[in-house]
Amino acid sequence: MKRFWVTAFLLGLAGLSAFSQTQTQQLSLDEAIKASGGEMGAKLEKGAKVAVLNFSSASPKMAAYVIDELNNVIVNSGQLTAVDRKSLDLIRQELNFNDSGEVSDDSAQQIGRLVGAQLIISGSLDLIGGGYRFRVQALEVETAAIKYSYSQDIKSDKLVKSLMATGTEIADFTAGQRAGTAALNLFFGAGSFMVEKDKLGGGITAAAEVLGVVGLIIGASLPATIEQKPDGSNIHTPNLAGPPLMIGGGILYVGGAVYGIIRAITYHRPGSVAVAALKSPWGLTLVSDQRGSAGLRLSYTLRF
């Protein structure tokens, strides 16, 4: 029994040590940029002309930041020659190329030749589990051989969150917006049309409520049958179709209103569900390529 507890204690220490090492391995974004830029200067051929082409990220703001900072590190190291950012921007515009999207090796080589670069630098920032993985690699323009590769887990600190916010935050409807939509949906689906831009929900709600009101009006306006007695008095007999029409109209209107309220509470702003998945522990990520919004795709990584 004593041996069991000693073994368990040692295994616990080993696990704690491994967890501690994992935590200390994370760098800040700026530290990872400096480390990768410094290693490139030391490992790549001195004086080689490099072009920091693209950085794949869900946020264009993050991509621009990393490209600029990595360029600065490369220039200040004095070991490599960096292609001017303006020259690359002109090429991107001509080729309709997005610097925050993914790029094939063939496209990278083509751009590298156009700007006279020997090496193309590209990278990515991917959400894996609860953290981010920062990657950078250097591709030789003539041979497409990978001459350098760097991968590092980074901290999800204030800088990373602020840079990623513009590319990933699509806020869902607030409780106030939902309540307002539900109330306005009592008026022929107006809330779904005006607040949530939900044409389907607004259309169904409006159709049911309009038919319901029409039924109520027709049912209430149907004239009674008037019969005259021999003594000259009149007998008013209500129209038998009126009550069923009014009941049916009332049911339709109430049903449409209930649907409009439930729809307003449960309907999500387009894209917000996918964005919420970015923050899930399963590591779901929303990735955009150079085709823009038409090229959005959902990918995932499971961390064990």
Q: Are residues 48 and 138 in the same domain?
A: yes
8 occurs within a structural domain: no
Structure confidence at residue 141 (pLDDT): 94
Q: Domain of 82: which CATH number?
A: 3.40.50.10610
Question: Residue 155's Cα: distance from chain center in Å?
Answer: 20
Whole-number Cα distances in Å, 299 to 58, 144, 169, 304: 12, 26, 17, 17
Whole-number Cα distances in Å, 113 to 54, 221, 236, 262: 15, 81, 95, 58
| Contact by Cβ (8 Å): 163, 169 | no
Query: Domain limits at 226?
Result: 175-267
| Contact by Cβ (8 Å): 201, 178 | no
Structure confidence at residue 21 (pLDDT): 42
Q: Are residues 74 and 180 in the same domain?
A: no
Q: Could you report how far apart the first and last alpha carbons of the chain are, in Å?
A: 31
237 occurs within a structural domain: yes
Structure tokens at 249: 């109209």
Q: Are residues 54 and 127 in the same domain?
A: yes
Q: Are residues 29 and 161 in the same domain?
A: yes
Structure confidence at residue 240 (pLDDT): 80
Structure confidence at residue 16 (pLDDT): 44
d(CA 38, CA 74): 7
Structure confidence at residue 182 (pLDDT): 93
Question: pTM (2 decimals)?
Answer: 0.50
203 occurs within a structural domain: yes
Q: Are residues 148 and 75 in the same domain?
A: yes
Q: Are residues 151 and 179 in the same domain?
A: no
The stretches in the chain having pLDDT less than 50 are 4, 6, 8, 14, 16-24, 167-168, 281-304
Residue of 58, 43, 40, 52 lying closest to 295 (CA atoms):
58
18 occurs within a structural domain: no
The residue from 121, 137, 168 where one domain ends is: 168
Q: Are residues 78 and 195 in the same domain?
A: no
d(CA 83, CA 257): 62
d(CA 254, CA 216): 12
Task: Give strand pairing partners of 111.
Answer: none
Q: Are residues 163 and 181 in the same domain?
A: no
The residue from 153, 168, 183 where one domain ends is: 168
Structure confidence at residue 136 (pLDDT): 96
Q: Are residues 161 and 180 in the same domain?
A: no
Q: Are residues 159 and 32 in the same domain?
A: yes
Structure confidence at residue 301 (pLDDT): 42
Q: Are residues 161 and 202 in the same domain?
A: no
Q: What residue spans of 78-145 are helical by DSSP H? A: 85-95, 105-115
279 occurs within a structural domain: no
Measure the CA angle with vertex 104, ends 101 and 105; round to 5°.
135
273 occurs within a structural domain: no
The count of domains in the chain is: 2
1 occurs within a structural domain: no
283 occurs within a structural domain: no
> Directed axis angle between helix 85-95 and helix 60-77, to 10°?
140
Q: Are residues 51 and 141 in the same domain?
A: yes
